[in-house]
A and B are shown apart, each in its own frame.
Chain A
């Protein structure tokens, strides 16, 4: 890694400066292009024009993120929502095992999330550069600090709770557990949906056009995933989880309908081509399918109901993951669209 401002080296810099003059002289000796090309009628010569832009070369650069980032969106969303569920379940005196499992999901997500981010950066120590500053105007900086606080709190809560269950209550453990739980609740709320802000406040057209909706959409997606994972761990009798799962699925159905109902060139990646089909698959798995399965489970007997809820949970979890992949993929397609930055249609 080179220093941004190398120390002056008189001889070497003089030689480099002279070289710039050489380049200039060489260029001066060349005459301007004097090629007179005839354009055969109807020949497919690319032409730059206000309509096609510069030979239809995309203006924007594609988001460079690798597979880790959509996976992080999924894991982080589920972990944040799980921490909220765990804390509220504890405060309202719900089933002890549910609280414990929710805390472990949050703790597991807290370990996996930074690992995924570090992996995307390529070199682990680069993650530390994120912690040099706190920049409120950068959603990524806000998000990273939320992640750091949330992870610490969620892991501490889970371990303190585990130690208390195992060795009996003690004052320090109780303090860590309660403070950790309060912090993981407070930070879990924004952590479950900030990724919507992260991609919404960018120059990518399909993302910034949905900026008012993405955080709620991602929050519902994370809630659906957290409820799904908890139910897959065996909590298929909890009425509260059923209600939350149903709420998330209904919201996701509405979100899908909202995407389909609107029509704008910037929204095309969500509706057409491979990215459109991935969006639809994720939307169906996260929205109408679990909503129907859960509604049906309300009407049937206990055993049948649990099986339906299991399928609804699988559908929600997979749907949530596919939804995140779809949005990142749609962002790439959107950035490649050379038309959008050239003409800004009014709302």
Chain B
């Protein structure tokens, strides 16, 4: 039993969506319909209640020369997105039922038999991962294949990935692997590879890291995610101030009113 993570290497991803299929089959994730998005070959759009793994098809303006691109072709990279399993998880902090827990593998897991569908985790996720299933009413997201990890198996998506673009393993060794992979790619002339692992933000690092080409923002990976817990100090201070104002205001209003009433009664 160790603290595990995903490392999703977009330079190896071929966009086959085997991870999406494997995830759906293993976890019995519900259907998300057939809607054409018009965004490259991606018709799922984003991770959500019915999409726990999601392959992004990132068509970019060509970076000429890189990866054999010529001027008139689009540069095309794929990247399999997933719940980030934050170190400081907004959903976990916000959950009022204790349904969302940290597992022994470091992942963030929603216990479906405890979740009551309040939806507060949905508003608290800085990555927009958790979503309420409209039919069922409860919130769903990637479980980090807690059931499989429990018995020593790798998550379904990592198992089904034919190119080992989705790497799964112990978190520190994956970080080392990511560094050596970047060095290797740089040596081979691909100098725009970045590791997305927001460790110096309030999220405190994630258990799902991404190797992407170019700016992570093209992949909808936010440069400065904040766990909403950081706003609480300000919020409760303001709440205490509001309570104090209400108490003092009401006291002053009624006490001065009462004195006036007594005075008039006395006078009459």
Residues of A within 8 A of B (CB): 1-6, 8, 16-17, 19-21, 23-28, 30-33, 36-39, 45-51, 53-55, 57-65, 81, 84-85, 88-89, 91-94, 120-123, 126-130, 132-133, 135, 137-141, 144, 189-190, 192-194, 196-204, 207-208, 211-216, 218-220, 223, 238-241, 243-244, 247, 331, 335, 338, 341-344
Chain B hits for A127, CB < 8 A: 116
103-130 of chain B: CB within 8 A of chain A: 109, 111-120, 122-130
Chain B hits for A132, CB < 8 A: 97-98, 114
Given contacts A8-B151, A203-B228, A213-B238, are A189 and B247 in contact (CB under 8 A)? Answer: yes
Whether the pair B235, A57 counts as a contact (CB closer than 8 A) is: no
Q: Pick the contact of B119: A25, A63, A91, A223 (CB < 8 A).
A: A63
Given contacts A190-B243, A244-B249, are A20 and B112 in contact (CB under 8 A)? Answer: no
Chain A hits for B40, CB < 8 A: 46, 55
A183 smallest CB distance to B (angstroms): 15
Q: How far is the CA of A218 from the CA of B242 in the complex (A)?
A: 9
B262 smallest CB distance to A (angstroms): 9
Which partner residue on chain B sits nearest A342 by CB separation?
A: B217
Q: Does B245 contact A (CB under 8 A)?
A: yes
Task: Please name 20 pairs of A and B residues whose Cβ atoms are closer than 8 Å in the assembled complex, sorted by A.
Answer: A5-B147, A23-B22, A23-B25, A24-B159, A32-B16, A39-B74, A53-B220, A55-B42, A59-B127, A59-B222, A61-B129, A64-B119, A92-B255, A92-B258, A189-B243, A190-B243, A194-B239, A212-B235, A239-B253, A335-B123
Minimum-distance CB pairs A-B, first 7:
A219-B242, A27-B18, A54-B220, A126-B116, A189-B243, A141-B96, A129-B116
Q: List 18 additional A-B contacts (Cβ < 8 Å) besides A48-B60, A61-B122, A239-B256.
A: A5-B147, A8-B151, A23-B21, A30-B14, A51-B217, A53-B218, A54-B56, A58-B128, A61-B123, A138-B95, A139-B232, A193-B242, A193-B246, A196-B239, A196-B242, A212-B234, A244-B253, A342-B223
Which partner residue on chain B sits nearest A247 by CB separation?
A: B249
A76 smallest CB distance to B (angstroms): 13
Given contacts A88-B250, A190-B243, A219-B246, are A140 and B118 in contact (CB under 8 A)? Answer: yes
Chain B hits for A335, CB < 8 A: 123, 128
Whether the pair A59, B128 counts as a contact (CB closer than 8 A) is: yes
> Main SS of chain B's interface residues?
mixed
Q: Pick the contact of A129: B42, B97, B214, B250 (CB < 8 A).
A: B97
Q: How far is the CA of A129 from the CA of B109 in the complex (A)?
A: 17
Whether the pair B160, A61 counts as a contact (CB closer than 8 A) is: no
Chain A hits for B56, CB < 8 A: 48, 54
Q: How far is the CA of A199 from the CA of B231 in the complex (A)?
A: 10
214-237 of chain B: CB within 8 A of chain A: 214-215, 217-220, 222-226, 228-229, 231-232, 234-237
Q: Does B41 contact A (CB under 8 A)?
A: yes
Whether the pair B120, A140 counts as a contact (CB closer than 8 A) is: yes
Whether the pair B250, A85 counts as a contact (CB closer than 8 A) is: yes
- The listed residue with most B CB atoms (<10 A of its CB), out of A48, A65, A211, is A48
Q: How far is the CA of A60 from the CA of B123 in the complex (A)?
A: 8
Chain B hits for A16, CB < 8 A: 25-26
Whether the pair B137, A123 counts as a contact (CB closer than 8 A) is: yes
Whether the pair B245, A219 counts as a contact (CB closer than 8 A) is: yes
Whether the pair B74, A47 counts as a contact (CB closer than 8 A) is: yes
Q: How far is the CA of A138 from the CA of B93 in the complex (A)?
A: 6
Q: Pick the contact of B18: A24, A123, A140, A240 (CB < 8 A).
A: A24
Whether the pair B162, A28 counts as a contact (CB closer than 8 A) is: yes
With contacts defined as CB atoms under 8 Å apart, how many contacts are there between chain A and chain B in the complex? 329
Q: How far is the CA of A65 from the CA of B137 in the complex (A)?
A: 11
Chain B hits for A62, CB < 8 A: 122
Whether the pair A137, B229 counts as a contact (CB closer than 8 A) is: yes
Which partner residue on chain A sits nearest B238 by CB separation?
A: A215
Q: Does B131 contact A (CB under 8 A)?
A: yes
Q: How far is the CA of A23 from the CA of B25 in the complex (A)?
A: 10
Whether the pair A27, B162 counts as a contact (CB closer than 8 A) is: yes
Q: Does B45 contact A (CB under 8 A)?
A: yes
B177 smallest CB distance to A (angstroms): 21
Q: Pick the contact of A64: B74, B132, B147, B160 (CB < 8 A).
A: B132
Annotate B247-267 by CB proximity to A: 1 below 8 A, 0 otherwise: 101111111111011000000
Q: How far is the CA of A91 from the CA of B250 in the complex (A)?
A: 11
Q: Does B36 contact A (CB under 8 A)?
A: no
Whether the pair B130, A130 counts as a contact (CB closer than 8 A) is: no
Whether the pair B146, A5 counts as a contact (CB closer than 8 A) is: yes
Which partner residue on chain B sits nearest A344 by CB separation?
A: B224
Chain A hits for B249, CB < 8 A: 223, 244, 247
Chain B hits for A200, CB < 8 A: 231, 234-235, 238
B183 smallest CB distance to A (angstroms): 24
Annotate B169-209 by CB proximity to A: 1 below 8 A, 0 otherwise: 00000000000000000000000000000000000000000
Chain A hits for B119, CB < 8 A: 63-65, 120
Whether the pair B96, A199 counts as a contact (CB closer than 8 A) is: no
Chain B hits for A121, CB < 8 A: 116-118, 137
Q: How far is the CA of A190 from the CA of B14 in the complex (A)?
A: 54
Whether the pair A36, B96 counts as a contact (CB closer than 8 A) is: no
Chain A hits for B147, CB < 8 A: 4-6
B116 smallest CB distance to A (angstroms): 4
Whether the pair B223, A48 counts as a contact (CB closer than 8 A) is: no
Q: How far is the CA of A88 from the CA of B246 in the complex (A)?
A: 11
Q: Does B83 contact A (CB under 8 A)?
A: no
